[in-house]
Structure 1
């Protein structure tokens, strides 16, 4: 009976090439092909380590079409590696549809762990790490981004976000508005790279630092935000968010009553009319 090959999901460095594990090197050098988000980037990575393997482009625009062909190869006994441009595949990167299809087809999927920017930032943030929520990239459009942040304002878990350099200023501003300027946060920039910086403090202070120093608006960012605090604070934050939405359609007293019932927050904290 013919056995299937293995799909290896391989983490690659987020900056420092020394973070590629010996096991990852062994796997990348032995598979039939490497499925890569950007084949040019991955070819350079492999060349740095003296490896040359066939590359297959697998990205958000062709993942569904490529998956069927790749699974046929796996079922025929070939083993493949899946990598992203940097870090652990599928973390804010394409690939989960391919992995899901492979598992549904009975193909063994094996992780080769390594670098992940979100976990690296959390490990040095000094914020609660027993419970956290990874939100990836926020919406690029201002209205959608603010709406997402408003929904997260009462979240008690530590929050992790990725952000691009050209939006870091406005994202910090929106976070200060949604979470409050005093909410503690950590801004991790260019992790494991030459100009790595990790700043921490209230959101308003981080925003001021970023605006004052152009260097802090360059590179790749992970934002780690402290949770909303105790349950009473979280309920009040959520209640105020609901009240702000409901008052657009209901009288203030009715909006406050409904928001209090839904959130568990004291009505007086939402509506000064009592």
Structure 2
């Protein structure tokens, strides 16, 4: 009871990115051998990143393919702090801020917009070949100003990944804590005020968020304000569409599956 049932097709984002019902769900049809192989690839990817002597966790943010967990991108700042395109919600990343890129060439996709025709030179995951991002100029161009990361394509935590869902009849579930009704998504919230900075920490029977706003004399206004601003950036919505009342987070105008995916992508 309390679970929202969805078909697998509803949990696929554009270009085949799999939706994620929870951080621990696994495809029931996958064999233990297949799961072990995916885990081996993930650990190898993490090991390769860690072996780079020039890298320091204090100087970059590492991101992993949402679909398979392979290391894909190291960038100077958190992606959720960067702006999104209004057309497709892709995150706009200055190419000069990328430290390491682990992509392979995809296709050149032509998209018709109201303002004209747009060309996207796609970059794919090296391991599973899911589209991760694109740039507006040729792959071999000498000058590339921006890289556009597709919505929910990369995650901070390599263990927060999912697999492709092959059976069309397969049904998936949102976590029990998600409640969606009349355009509003509600979920229980645990707000910790003693963090080093804003961070989405965990999602189980409630969403755990940290902020750096000490609660003085029981006054939570500063902490709630910081949490609202941080969650609005993570979810790609206006702060006026995010409300925190007591121990409940309410998000307006964003489907529950998008709320889930975007939270999981920035979970540390």
* Structure 1 and Structure 2 fold alike (TM over 0.5): no
More helix, by proportion: 1
| TM-score using structure 1 length | 0.25
| TM-score using structure 2 length | 0.25
More strand, by proportion: 2
Greater gyration radius: 1
Q: Name which structure has the greater RCO, CA cutoff 8 Å, separation 6+.
A: 2
